Amino acid sequence: MKLSVREDPAAAEIEVTVVCPRIDQRVQRIVAAVEMEDRRLAGVADGFLRVLSARDVLYAETVDGRTFLYGEDKVYEATATLAEIESHLSGTEFVRASRQMLVNLAHVSGIRPYLNARLELALDNGERLIASRQFAPVIKKRIGL
């Protein structure tokens, strides 16, 4: 892979161009990572509204009608629904893991089969999540299995 960066003081914003012989999974992962860089999510913790970078969110989950964003060591109550978050993060590393959960594949450090065709996902911070069998094929495809 060849990487070049060119500084242009006249540029109004950052522009990223990917030139490749064909679009494969590696290129798609690069594009998803760049796409996620500018995405922000809002969540409440300790009584304060916080704006989080999507790349810092490990997963999002709905519990008892409330949606939570899980960071490395803190949990935030989201201001949006899970469906709204999924729509906002389309084209990024986030993928549906169950009806109640989205997971950031950039933070998945391991994967293994689980009971009834489900998947166990190991995250960077040591947490383990279970992906339902309905969404397991999509996760496998997205990580290249």
Confidence of residue 4 (pLDDT cuts 50, 70, 90): confident
Domain ranges, ordered by start, for the chain: 25-143
Is the pTM of the predicted complex or chain greater than 0.85? no
- Indicate the Cα dihedral angle 71, 75, 79, 83, nearest 10°: 60
Q: What's the rounded mean pLDDT across residues 63-91? A: 94
pLDDT tens digits, 22-58: 988 788 878 877 877 778 999 999 999 999 999 999 9
| pLDDT value for 6 | 85
In angstroms, the CA 55 to CA 76 distance is: 15
Fold for the domain defined by 25-143: OB fold (Dihydrolipoamide Acetyltransferase, E2P) (2.40.50)
